[in-house]
Structure 1
């Protein structure tokens, strides 16, 4: 096989692409990855990882501010923004280098440049004006997505930010308006609020975190306002007017408008797939609203061309992309694989308090015709939560009354982004309420609340 001829070429080295490449190489295939910018993709360099580093700094600062309630005396604590950002960038750099090492360890060829489909089984890779031809029996497109831009509200990096700008601020703004209350918007709102910024969150839907269960959203809303965030749900942004060092935002709700002036604005209104300049013209690859259309095995309409991750639409989650990458690599290698069931993919939001969920909300379950049994357990009833000084939160479980199937689980509170995996495993193994009731949970832990929530759905909760 020629040097530029491969069995699999992956376009994009994000959490979907590099994982697909490594798994394909593990299965004995000759593999290359083409990456035009950052190994590790947006998630590792400008998304999931560096934002969690920022939020960890905010969490530590929050704990210090409440040190007195833990019997500790601390004075003079303040945010050193440059150091916080430097730590975040350092974490991202360390992991990006780690991915490069993993590719090398697994004998994956890393090609620097921008790839474009150039006929059946062919790619043209361009770097610094020079083009190299690469051939592949199988091509996996994993080019990810970028922030959606609304006309007249384009981020400029100074007054109007998207997530990249918000990750490397020059100073903590005195006031900030966040447009969009999904995971990205709420996480940045939580971080800057903890740093002392006066934060307003605008959401066009009727509640914050609109994809979450309604009860969880309501608890989050109440907690956010208690922390000082201003929440404006059911509100449209009608326009932005840039001033010398501030932005005047026109908001509309119920036919009434108001103007709010803030130092900075963060736009977090969704994402669009990176489908441009991929050479899709003239192929059988179909694009629907900036996302490539695939079947259950991530195959596009073009033979030998697959697409994975954010490029293919919701849910826009790194772990979904990685799982698809493994599935496609194994499918190409002729292994028996199962199509991904999106109802078993958990979602996490790392704000304060954390929010996590998997499966159907109570409302969605009822919409789909299920008669449900619902269990709830509050953090205030859990000894570990009280000992941690984290008594705020709830775990909610939704079961099919007829079969006992776990339809969904929804959490808000400390460390729920770690706890949710327990229910994800339960859904994947198709456990029933009886199975979960028989599981022995360690004491004292937050995880005990997961058990109690299941018990509560069937009128058997012990501690509440």
Structure 2
């Protein structure tokens, strides 16, 4: 029977990063996987989705080439080629994860894992083992980390059928562009696919049960994003829900109940159900071991420890925010704690969120509403992209950076951005929050010119009445 210091169930962003970090620390590590080397993110999530969105972005700019003095007549969309590119990138990423694990001498085990008892894992053999992976069997480990990820949430009446009603899996590999598309849910997954299909020409309707699009974002940023979505031709119904679906041969009629109680019928060729995800906690033996589970995810402390000694959980299966970078950092902290390095527990308020729609949205920390509810006296800065030379030169003058400070201490409480490439800018504010930077340090930081990042600096200045370019 093989024995490990750490055995990890799942090779997604949390699992493989934890495994590599553990190997760097000199621990003997094994990883069990049953389906996707690298997990959902590189195979069916973050990376291939961004490849699709990049294709949509390129098409968008070609359609608007005349705005830049370029002649490009009659551009077209080749859906099979777009999908092929995306799937090729996914395969490349998955192979890369396998290479990294082998490079770090992590044992790779193919099969379905069950925790038989603390320190004991049974792996059932299944088909599809990649070349060079170890066969299933019984294994022992001092520490077992559950990193099994999550899957799409299914609502009654919105059950996916892989033909008319899609999850993100089917949404990534369409055989053709649906003329009419209904997206249920306006979180990151829903709004990214809505943006992708709308950019390529689909008639898109988004139904959201909450009172704002992208409900976790700051209300001001979400409102600006909504205006841009609608300007692009997207129809958005807020405080609405799908009451029923009637399926035809190749179309769906959805009855949508609106805020005022009235009902509206929407006919669509395809429906994307994007109503969140749930943790993969089943069939792991957790219940029998007494591992605490709440709302479909495993309860942990800030270092991945469950209530059962020797059993840990990281990533999506350990609860929100369900983001790949959260999983990666959580995996590192968990392993370093096991190795006795005393890392700081994760502060979820310092985990950035990014949505790669058009326009992009990025945020970190408290929204204005949450900051007020927490009792802070606030100083809020806002700077629009129209006041930034680089944004105007790029043809991207519609955007906003919003910063929120504690008026008493100058502490940066939150930052919220909408506009071109803001997902590449948010990390500046994340670093600032991690270093406990105040407005004074940010004001005295020199930002390069001309860059869109100057909007970040101006937003800080604006919070204290010192903005220059507006």
TM-score calculated relative to the size of structure 2: 0.97
Within the candidate set 157, 178, 187, 1:182 is matched to 187
Q: Which residue of 1 aligns with 2:130?
A: none
1:131 offset after TM fit, Å? Answer: 5.3
Q: Which residue of 2 aligns with 1:140?
A: 145
Q: Distance in 2 between matches of 1:400 and 1:152?
A: 45
Residue pairs, 1:393-432, within 5 angstroms: 393-432=399-438
Q: Distance in 1 between matches of 2:394 and 2:287?
A: 57
CA RMSD after TM alignment: 0.9
Measured against aligned partners, the alpha-carbon deviations of 1:317-363 in whole angstroms (never above 9, x if no partner) come to 00000000000111111112000001100000000000000000111
1:127 offset after TM fit, Å? Answer: 1.0
Within the candidate set 66, 71, 74, 1:73 is matched to 71
* Contact 2:192–2:355, Cα closer than 8 Å, also in 1: yes
Within the candidate set 209, 212, 225, 1:204 is matched to 209
Q: Say yes or no: does 1:248 pair with 2:253.
A: yes
Residue pairs, 1:261-276, within 5 angstroms: 261-276=267-282
Residue pairs, 1:213-292, within 5 angstroms: 213-253=218-258, 254-292=260-298
Residue pairs, 1:306-455, within 5 angstroms: 306-455=312-461
Q: Say yes or no: does 1:169 pair with 2:174.
A: yes
Within the candidate set 27, 30, 34, 1:29 is matched to 27
Q: Secondary structure at the match of 2:288?
A: coil
Structure 1 residue runs without a partner (length 5+)? none
* Contact 2:112–2:126, Cα closer than 8 Å, also in 1: no
* Contact 2:401–2:456, Cα closer than 8 Å, also in 1: yes
Which 4+ residue blocks in structure 1 deviate beyond 2 angstroms? 128-131
The farther-off stretch of 252-261 and 16-25 is 252-261
Q: Distance in 1 between matches of 2:140 and 2:46?
A: 33
Within the candidate set 61, 64, 67, 1:63 is matched to 61
Measured against aligned partners, the alpha-carbon deviations of 1:73-106 in whole angstroms (never above 9, x if no partner) come to 0113111100000000011100110110000010
Q: Which residue of 1 aligns with 2:132?
A: none
Measured against aligned partners, the alpha-carbon deviations of 1:206-231 in whole angstroms (never above 9, x if no partner) come to 11011100100110111100000000
Q: Which residue of 1 aligns with 2:156?
A: 151
1:312 offset after TM fit, Å? Answer: 1.2
Q: Distance in 1 between matches of 2:118 and 2:322?
A: 29
Q: Distance in 2 between matches of 1:82 and 1:297?
A: 43
Q: Distance in 2 between matches of 1:202 and 1:383?
A: 36
Q: Secondary structure at the match of 1:32?
A: strand
* Contact 2:380–2:463, Cα closer than 8 Å, also in 1: yes
Measured against aligned partners, the alpha-carbon deviations of 1:231-286 in whole angstroms (never above 9, x if no partner) come to 00000111111111100001111211111111000000011110011011321201
The farther-off stretch of 254-263 and 102-111 is 254-263
* Contact 2:181–2:271, Cα closer than 8 Å, also in 1: yes
Q: Distance in 2 between matches of 1:259 and 1:281?
A: 43
TM-score calculated relative to the size of structure 1: 0.99
Q: Distance in 2 between matches of 1:239 and 1:391?
A: 40
Q: Distance in 1 between matches of 2:60 and 2:160?
A: 30
Q: Which residue of 2 aligns with 1:301?
A: 307
Q: How many equivalent pairs are there?
A: 462
Q: Distance in 2 between matches of 1:290 and 1:419?
A: 33
Q: Distance in 2 between matches of 1:151 and 1:412?
A: 34
* Contact 2:403–2:459, Cα closer than 8 Å, also in 1: yes
Q: Secondary structure at the match of 1:16?
A: helix
